[in-house]
């Protein structure tokens, strides 16, 4: 009898958590129980493509660790397993293993024609910018000139506003650039 009433109390809590996690794609997991629920729902975080906010969804990952991992990946460091992630973050593997059910590690060949190479818009040369589809010579020159006059672009919205780009071009560019 005691077990039955305890399980009834747990189920509504678990149902609420499940709904919350299911309905909020940015939900930050607070416990391993929530990670288990996310795994049941089929939620995955691809570490090799994750941004800082994606990594902050993981319980126990600090903003410093998330930034560090994203920066390493942007510079070409391959994080292809939970062991690689552990080494990159200088964390014990035992601390990350409980997160494994929702983590994936994918390999993206930078030379493949199927993988678009993202160019850092704040560091790119004129020649690199001209390689991006939809960027004309005049837009490439304007990107560099505006960057020199007003500093680095903060994000895609900032780039769009500063260069007065239309929505179509901005939508396409986001697949080729990073900040």
Residues 6-16: pLDDT tens digits?
444 558 888 89
What pLDDT is recorded for position 34? 94
What lies within 8 Å, CB to CB, of 160 at 6+ separation is: 170
pLDDT tens digits for 106-143?
A: 876 655 545 556 888 998 999 889 888 888 899 999 99
What pLDDT is recorded for position 116? 56
- Given a contact cutoff of 8 angstroms between Cβ atoms, the answer to whether 119 and 128 are in contact is yes
Is the whole-model pTM more than 0.85? no
- Given a contact cutoff of 8 angstroms between Cβ atoms, the answer to whether 134 and 172 are in contact is yes
- Report the C-alpha gap between 32 and 16 in whole angstroms: 16
What pLDDT is recorded for position 26? 84
Sequential DSSP letters for 70-113: HHHHHTT----SHHHHHHHHT--HHHHGGGGGGEE-----TT-T
- Report the C-alpha gap between 85 and 96 in whole angstroms: 8
Work out the angle at residue 127's Cα, subtended by the Cα atoms of residues 107 and 145, and round it to the nearest 5 degrees. Answer: 115
pLDDT tens digits for 36-59?
A: 999 999 999 999 888 899 999 999
- Given a contact cutoff of 8 angstroms between Cβ atoms, the answer to whether 59 and 32 are in contact is yes
Domain ranges in the chain are 10-104, 119-178
Token reading at 105: 């590690």
User: β-strand 177-178 against 119-120: which pairing, if any?
Assistant: parallel
- Report the C-alpha gap between 137 and 141 in whole angstroms: 6
Q: Is the pLDDT of residue 33 over 50?
A: yes
Q: Residue 153 — pLDDT band, cuts 50, 70, 90?
A: very high
What pLDDT is recorded for position 76? 81
Token reading at 147: 């960057």
What pLDDT is recorded for position 171? 80
Distances (CA, A) of 179 to 18, 51, 85, 170: 34, 12, 22, 14
What pLDDT is recorded for position 97? 96
What pLDDT is recorded for position 145? 96
Distances (CA, A) of 36 to 13, 28, 45, 46, 99: 14, 13, 13, 17, 9
């Amino acid at each position: 009898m005691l077990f039955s009433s305890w399980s009834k109390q747990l189920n509504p809590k678990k149902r609420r958590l499940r709904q919350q996690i299911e309905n909020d794609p940015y939900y930050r997991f607070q416990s391993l129980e929530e990670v288990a629920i996310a795994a049941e729902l089929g939620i995955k975080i691809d570490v090799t493509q994750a941004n800082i906010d994606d990594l902050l969804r993981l319980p126990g990952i600090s903003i410093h660790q998330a930034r560090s991992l994203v920066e390493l990946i942007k510079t070409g460091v391959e994080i292809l397993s939970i062991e690689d992630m552990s080494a990159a973050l200088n964390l014990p593997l035992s601390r990350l293993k409980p997160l494994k059910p929702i983590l994936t590690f994918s390999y993206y060949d930078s030379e493949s024609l199927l993988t678009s190479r993202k160019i850092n818009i704040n560091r790119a040369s004129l020649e690199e910018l001209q390689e991006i589809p939809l960027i004309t010579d005049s837009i490439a020159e304007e990107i560099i000139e505006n960057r020199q006059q007003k500093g680095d672009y903060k994000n895609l919205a900032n780039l769009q506003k500063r260069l007065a780009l239309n929505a179509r071009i901005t939508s396409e560019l986001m697949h080729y650039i990073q900040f």
